[in-house]
A = this chain, B = another copy of it.
Amino acid sequence: MSVGGRVGGSGGGSAGSATGGGEVRKTVLPGGLRVLTERVPTVRSATIGIWVHVGSRDESPALNGATHYLEHVLFKGTERRSALEISAALDAVGGEMNAFTSKEFTCYYARVLDADLPLAIDVVGDMLTSSVLDPAEIEAERGVILEEIAMTEDDPGDCVHDLFAHTMFGDSPLGRPVLGTVETVNSLTRDRIARFYRKHYDPPHLVVAAAGNLDHDTVVEQVRAAFDRAGALSRTDGSAEPVGPRTGTRSVRAQGRVDLSDRRTEQAHLVLGMPGVSRNDDRRWALGVLSAALGGGMSSRLFQEIREKRGLAYSTYSYTSGFADCGLFGVYAGCRPGQVSDVLKICRDELDQAARHGLPDDELKRAIGQLTGSTVLGLEDTGALMHRLGKSELCWGEQLSVDDMLAKISAVTPDDVRAVARDVLDQRPSLAVIGPLTDRQASQLHEAVA
């Protein structure tokens, strides 16, 4: 879609386009703050999210965990509101407010009844622009984050993905955990967090995205008011332009690496995978279709072979993750330690098979149908719509309409799948495992990726 110019009094200069969800409009406020909305008049709710163009890959080794720590701290009080007043404001109307930090961005959001959207914009805007970074609150929050790290450690099916990122990216920004480590979290000072806040939370790095029963011009004015009150829009040069999509030069070359974390768990949790494609790579549509067929649903090959026919696992799936400049393809399974070898052999065989032959027509058709249906089903939730708006703006600097997305998925051919299967699945895989493995089982792991 086209980009609206800078706005005068009442949201003029915005550009509209229709997606399968609702009408999408975008306005750029002075100072470079982008506001995107999607109007869905048939619902009674609205979700507002403020996206920040910063993630854990922007951290130096010593700052690892700073993005996520800051995300927590922003809930702890502003010049106008205490931590309790922030949470009570949304609780009082039954809203859901939360935030998440990823490797490439941070997002703060609230889902509320449509009548409460002005309140949500005011509170989330206040948090983003006017945090006081109170030293005592920062200290208390350090304990909370250390508990979050401990809780994640207690969920091996989750943290095996952190381990796999380390396997693939090593000690580099994409290889380090978003939460940081006990050591880095303990060493982060208020000063460093404050510098990080001032550096990354300025209007050109922010995208406000809202979806639901709303009016674009009204939302723009409410956002302007929330940011103006804090002087956030006037602080920056009036000619500031929004920051463009992230670029990078990271590539993944890990091959045949094995990371084993010995833990007294009931299951061994494993991820087998290889370099994938970046989110700017045209092959991502074909890789998405391939991944759906391999491990996207109950009829997928891995689910059928590992769970349905052999009963070796409860949970098994494949996934792709795309960053600005690189990506990963991975397969997860959780199984009893004594069955790791069998499960890995099935995974290797299925990946090899797909690398050699791609997908037959019936499976390709089913995978396309699956992605098409689930994409449309995913549009009924204003939270999901908000997510798509904000992420698209940050990652691509534009909105792809739902119809265009569905067209991209439907256009994937057997040749496209064969090509991307050869490119991706024919690489030597690496492996991350958390579990209580014997020496013999551990050596079988190395054989599995040989």
Which A positions have Cβ atoms within 8 angstroms of B? 42-45, 75-76, 83-84, 86-88, 90-97, 111-113, 116, 139-148, 150-151, 153-157, 264-267, 269, 296-300, 303-304, 307-315, 334-336, 365-366, 369-377, 379-382
Contacts and interface: CB of A to CB of B under 8 A. Distances in A.
A92 B147 contact: no
B336 A150 contact: yes
B371 A299 contact: no
A299 B141 contact: no
Given A143-B311, A155-B155, A266-B154, A94 B377 contact: yes
Contacts of A381: 380-381
Given A84-B299, A143-B311, A373 B151 contact: no
A314 to B, nearest CB: 4
Copies in the assembly, this chain: 2
Taking chain A's interface residues, is the majority helix, strand, or loop, or is none over half, making it mixed? helix
A212 to B, nearest CB: 9
B97 A298 contact: yes
Contacts of A373: 93-95, 112-113, 116
8 contacts: A86-B298, A94-B373, A96-B374, A111-B377, A140-B311, A141-B311, A151-B157, A151-B267
Given A111-B377, A147-B267, 18 more contacts: A44-B380, A76-B308, A86-B298, A87-B303, A91-B300, A92-B369, A94-B370, A94-B372, A94-B375, A96-B374, A112-B377, A141-B311, A147-B312, A147-B315, A151-B157, A153-B266, A380-B380, A380-B381
A72 to B, nearest CB: 10
